[in-house]
C-alpha cells in the first residue's frame, strides 16, 4: 500500500497525528502570509520595512500604501479563495463519496462564472435603486446563484435512488461546464466595451485586482461556507459508509446534503466572483491531506482550509515573481502544478472509475 | 417487541411487499428466510425505517415513523449486506463511526467490539485492504459499538443484520451467530435475514418465511422449516430431517434434492 502506515503507539488511530499536522499547517500559513506581504515586484526593501513595521517602526507612506492597500488585501483574498476552494473540494468529495469531485472539474465553477458574467453584463438592466443596493455584492451573489444551480443540477443528474454514479457525475459536469461556457459566450458577445474590459480582467483568473472592497464583498459568503463545513464533518464521516448506513447512525442525510450543497455553492461562487477560474486546489489539497492524516473530516476540513490558503498564496507568489515585473494569471500556475498531479491521481485510482 | 402489520412496499412500480405481517420479540433471534427476490431485504429495510412502507410498524409500542433519526439510532443498529467505504479509513476508524450515534461515546467500546468479532490486532489495517469476510466482521464490530448494551433503561435495543454470515467461513459463521444469540440472551432483540437454513434452525427462536412479498409462515424452526413449506417456497424438493439427539430441531441436507422445477 502506498498510504502511510498508521502510528505504532495507537494503531489505526490517527487523531494525534492529525492535530500535530494542523498545528504545523497554522505555522506554514503564517510564514507564507508574511512572505506574501514581503515579496513583490517592487523589490525586497519592503521585507525590511515589513519587519520593521512588525516591530513597531512606522513605514514610509509609499511602503504603507504598497503593504496596506495592495499586498494586504491580495494576501487576505488569496487566503480566503484558497481555503474556500480546498474546503469545497473536500466537502464535495465527501458528498459524492469520491476523491475526484472538484468544483472546477464538475462544472460548479463554470456555473458560478456564468452567474458572475450575467451580473457584469446584465446588471445595468436592473432597476437603478436595486442595482445601487446590491452594489459590490451583486457579482458574488450572482456567482453564488450560478454555482448553486450547477451543484443542485449536477447532484440531481448523477444520483438515482441515493446512489451517485461517478461516470454520470463527471460527464454531466463536462456537459454543464460546456453549456455554462456557451451561455457565458453569448453574454460576452452582447457586452459593451466597458463591460468587456471588466470581463477580461476578471476572466484572467488572478488575485491582482484585489482590493479591500472586493475582500469585504466576498468574505461573508466564503466565511459562511467555511464555517458551515465543520458542522458537516461528522455527517460526512458517516456518509462514507453510504447514505443508508449514515441514516442508521442518526444522521439527517437529506438536510446534511442540502447544507453541503449550499455551503459549497456559497464559497465557490464568491471565490470565482473575485478571482476567476482557479483550478485544482480543490482536488490536490484534500487528497494530499488524506494521505497524510486519514479521511476523518473533523480534521480534514480545517486542515484543508489552512493548506489551501497556503498553497494558493504560494502559487500567487510564483505568479508575481516568475516573470516580474509582469505577472502570470494564477490560474496558469495552479493548472501547471495541478494538471500532472490530477493525472497521477487518476492513474493511481483507476479502479475507482472502472469499478463504478 | 417489533410488530409489523400489512406492510406494502412498491419500488420502481414493482410491488415488493404485499401485506407482510411479522413479529419479533426482544430476547430472541428472529430469522427471515425465503428465496432470492422474495422481499427479505426490503422487509428488513422497512423494519429499520430506511424505506417507507404502507402499513403499521411499532417498535416497542411506538409507531416507527414517529421516532426521529437520532432517537432511532440509539435504539437499533443495522448491518448492511456488503459495504464499500468511500475513503481509506483504518479498521479502528470504521468501528469508531459506531460511536457517532451515542450522546456519551465510550472510547473503550471499539477495542472490545473488535475483540468480539475476532479482529483484535487489525486496528491499524486499512478497511479496503481486508478480505470480504473481514470487512463484514469489521462492519459488525461497528454495529456492535452502536448498540453495545442490549438493554438501556429497561428498554431493549435491536440489531438488524442483513445476511450477517454471507461472506464468512464456517467457524466465523458460528462465532457471529453466537454473538447474535448472546445479544438476545442478555435481553436485546436480533432480526436477521438468512440464507443458511441449518444455521437458522440452530439459532433462531422464531423463523419468518417470506414468499413473493408475504410472510407465509412464522413460528419456531420446527414449525416453519418443513419439507412441504421449503419445497414450495424454494421450488425444489428439500427433504427436511431432524438433528440426531437434537430434539425436534430440523436439519436440511440437500443430498436428495432434485434440481429446481422448470419455471
Mean pLDDT across A115-138? 77
Mean pLDDT across B72-87: 90
Greater pLDDT, A101 or A206 = A101
Looking at CA atoms only, how far is residue B126 from chain A in angstroms? 8
Q: Is the pLDDT of residue A353 over 50?
A: no
B101 touches chain A (CB under 8 A): yes
pLDDT (0 to 100) of residue A42: 65
Structure-model confidence comparison of residues B137 and B262, the more confident one:
B137
**Residue A78 pLDDT exceeds 80:** yes
B89 to chain A nearest CA, in Å? 6
Half-sphere exposure of A126 (CA within 13 A, CB side): 17
Which cell is A134 given? 446590491
**A268/A22 Cα distance (integer angstroms):** 23
Rounded distance between C-alpha atoms, residue A74 and residue A61, angstroms: 19
Q: Does the distance separating the beta carbons of A98 and B89 come in below 8 Å?
A: no
List the single residue in A1, A13, A290 with the smallest CB-CB distance to B87: A290
User: Is the pLDDT confidence value at B261 over 70?
Assistant: no
The least confident of A87-96, A283-292, A310-319, A336-345 is A336-345
Mean pLDDT of chain A: 84
pLDDT (0 to 100) of residue B213: 93
* A204 confidence band (pLDDT: 50, 70, 90): low
Confidence of residue A352 (pLDDT cuts 50, 70, 90): very low
Assess contact for B159 and B114: CB atoms under 8 A: no
pLDDT of residue A160: 76
Q: What percent of chain B has pLDDT over 70?
A: 96
Per-domain boundaries in chain A: 15-26+73-354
Interchain CB distance below 8 Å, A240 and B77: no
pLDDT of the residue at A46 = 60
Backbone angles phi, psi at A254, to 5 degrees: -65, -45
Q: If you compute the radius of gyration of chain A from its CA atoms, what whole number of angstroms results?
A: 21
Distance CA(B203)–CA(B196), nearest Å, equals 11
Q: Per CATH, which fold does B2-256 belong to?
A: Rossmann fold (3.40.50)
Going from N- to C-terminal start, the domains of chain B cover 2-256
Distance CA B9, CA B23 (A): 18
Checking if the pLDDT of A81 tops 80, the result is yes
Instruction: Calculate what percentage of chain A has a pLDDT beyond 70.
Output: 85
Task: List the single range of A146-160, A185-199, B240-254 with lowest mean pLDDT.
Answer: B240-254
B30 CB-near residues (< 8 Å, 6+ apart): B22, B24, B189, B190, B191, B192, B204, B205, B206, B207, B208
Quick one: average pLDDT of A30-39? 89
Interface of A with B in 59-98 (CB under 8 A): 94, 97-98
**B36 vs A: CB within 8 A:** no
Q: What is the CATH number of domain A15-26+73-354?
A: 1.10.3470.10
pLDDT mean over A303-307:
97
The reply to whether omega before A325 is within 30° of 0 (cis) is yes
Count A/B contacts: CB-CB distance under 8 Å: 92
Residue A182 in contact with partner chain B when CB distance is under 8 A: no
Out of B74, B84, B88, name the one closest to residue A3 (CB).
Answer: B88
% of chain A residues with pLDDT over 90: 34
Is residue A173 a contact partner of residue A143, using CB atoms and an 8 Å limit?
no
- Give the per-residue pLDDT at A1: 43
d(CA B108, CA B100): 14
Q: Does A234 touch chain B (CB under 8 A)?
A: yes
Could you tell me which of B114, B172, B165 has the C-alpha nearest to residue B144? B114
pLDDT confidence tier of residue A298, bands split at 50, 70 and 90: very high
pLDDT band at A355 (very low <50, low <70, confident <90, very high): very low
Beta bridge partners of B162: B193
Q: Are A314 and A34 in contact (CB under 8 A)?
A: no
pLDDT digits (tens, 9 = 90+) for A236-255: 999 999 989 999 999 998 88
- Determine the distance from the C-alpha atom of residue B147 to the mean position of all C-alpha atoms in its chain, rounded to a whole number: 14
Whether B86 and chain A come into contact, CB under 8 Å, resolves to: yes
Instruction: Check residue A45 and give its pLDDT.
Output: 58
pLDDT, residue B56, reads 94
Amino acid at each position: 500500500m502506498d498510504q502511510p502506515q498508521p502510528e505504532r503507539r495507537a494503531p489505526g488511530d490517527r487523531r494525534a497525528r492529525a492535530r500535530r499536522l494542523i498545528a504545523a499547517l497554522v505555522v506554514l500559513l503564517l510564514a507564507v502570509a508574511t512572505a506574501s506581504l514581503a515579496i513583490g515586484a517592487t523589490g525586497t526593501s519592503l521585507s525590511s520595512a515589513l519587519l520593521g513595521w512588525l516591530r513597531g517602526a512606522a513605514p514610509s507612506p509609499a511602503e504603507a500604501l504598497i503593504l496596506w492597500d495592495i499586498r494586504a488585501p491580495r494576501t487576505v483574498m488569496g487566503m480566503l479563495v484558497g481555503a474556500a476552494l480546498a474546503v469545497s473540494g473536500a466537502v464535495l468529495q465527501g458528498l459524492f463519496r469520491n476523491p475526484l469531485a472538484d468544483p472546477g472539474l464538475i462544472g460548479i465553477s463554470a456555473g458560478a462564472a456564468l452567474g458572475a458574467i450575467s451580473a457584469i453584463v446584465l446588471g445595468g438592466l436592473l432597476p437603478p435603486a436595486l442595482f445601487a443596493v446590491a452594489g459590490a455584492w451583486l457579482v458574488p451573489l450572482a456567482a453564488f446563484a450560478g454555482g448553486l444551480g450547477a451543484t443542485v443540477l449536477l447532484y440531481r443528474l448523477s444520483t438515482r435512488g441515493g446512489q451517485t454514479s461517478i461516470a454520470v457525475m463527471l460527464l454531466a459536469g463536462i456537459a454543464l461546464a460546456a453549456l455554462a461556457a456557451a451561455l457565458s459566450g453569448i453574454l460576452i458577445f452582447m457586452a459593451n466595451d466597458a463591460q468587456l474590459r471588466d470581463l477580461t480582467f476578471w476572466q484572467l483568473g488572478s488575485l491582482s485586482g484585489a482590493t479591500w472592497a472586493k475582500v469585504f464583498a466576498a468574505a461573508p459568503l466564503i466565511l459562511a461556507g467555511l464555517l458551515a463545513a465543520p458542522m458537516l464533518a461528522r455527517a460526512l464521516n458517516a456518509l462514507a459508509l453510504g447514505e443508508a448506513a449514515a441514516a442508521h447512525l442518526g444522521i439527517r442525510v437529506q438536510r446534511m446534503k442540502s447544507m453541503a450543497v449550499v455551503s459549497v455553492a456559497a464559497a465557490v461562487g464568491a471565490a470565482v466572483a473575485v478571482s476567476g477560474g482557479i483550478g485544482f486546489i480543490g482536488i490536490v489539497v484534500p487528497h494530499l491531506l488524506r494521505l497524510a492524516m486519514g479521511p476523518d473530516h473533523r480534521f480534514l476540513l480545517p486542515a484543508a482550509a489552512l493548506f489551501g490558503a497556503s498553497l494558493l498564496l504560494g502559487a500567487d507568489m510564483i505568479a508575481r515573481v516568475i516573470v516580474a515585473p509582469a505577472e502570470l494569471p494564477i490560474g496558469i500556475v495552479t493548472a501547471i502544478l495541478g494538471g500532472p498531479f490530477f493525472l497521477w491521481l487518476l492513474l493511481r485510482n483507476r479502479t475507482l472509475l472502472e469499478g463504478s | 417487541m417489533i410488530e409489523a402489520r400489512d406492510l406494502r412496499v412498491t419500488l420502481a412500480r414493482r410491488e415488493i411487499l404485499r401485506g407482510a405481517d411479522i413479529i419479533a420479540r426482544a430476547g430472541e433471534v428472529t430469522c427471515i428466510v425465503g428465496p432470492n427476490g422474495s422481499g427479505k431485504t426490503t422487509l428488513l429495510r422497512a423494519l429499520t425505517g430506511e424505506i417507507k412502507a404502507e402499513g403499521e410498524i411499532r417498535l416497542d409500542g411506538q409507531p416507527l415513523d414517529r421516532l426521529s433519526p437520532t432517537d432511532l439510532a440509539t435504539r437499533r443498529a443495522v448491518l448492511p449486506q456488503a459495504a464499500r467505504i468511500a475513503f481509506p479509513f483504518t479498521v479502528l476508524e470504521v468501528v469508531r463511526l459506531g460511536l457517532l450515534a451515542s450522546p456519551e461515546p465510550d472510547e473503550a467500546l471499539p477495542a472490545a467490539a473488535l475483540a468480539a468479532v475476532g479482529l483484535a490486532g487489525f486496528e491499524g489495517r486499512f478497511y479496503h485492504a481486508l478480505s470480504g469476510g473481514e470487512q463484514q466482521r469489521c462492519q459488525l464490530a461497528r454495529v456492535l459499538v452502536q448498540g453495545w448494551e442490549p438493554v438501556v433503561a429497561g428498554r431493549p435495543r435491536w440489531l438488524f443484520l442483513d445476511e450477517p454470515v454471507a461472506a464468512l467461513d464456517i467457524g466465523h459463521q458460528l462465532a457471529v451467530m453466537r454473538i447474535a444469540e448472546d445479544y438476545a440472551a442478555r435481553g436485546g432483540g436480533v432480526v436477521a435475514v438468512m440464507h443458511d437454513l441449518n444455521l437458522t434452525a440452530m439459532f433462531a427462536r422464531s423463523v419468518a418465511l417470506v414468499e413473493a412479498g408475504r410472510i407465509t409462515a412464522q413460528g419456531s424452526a420446527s414449525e416453519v422449516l418443513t419439507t412441504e413449506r421449503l419445497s414450495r417456497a424454494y421450488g425444489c424438493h428439500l427433504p427436511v430431517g431432524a438433528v440426531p439427539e437434537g430434539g425436534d430441531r430440523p436439519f436440511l441436507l440437500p443430498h436428495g434434492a432434485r434440481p429446481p422445477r422448470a419455471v
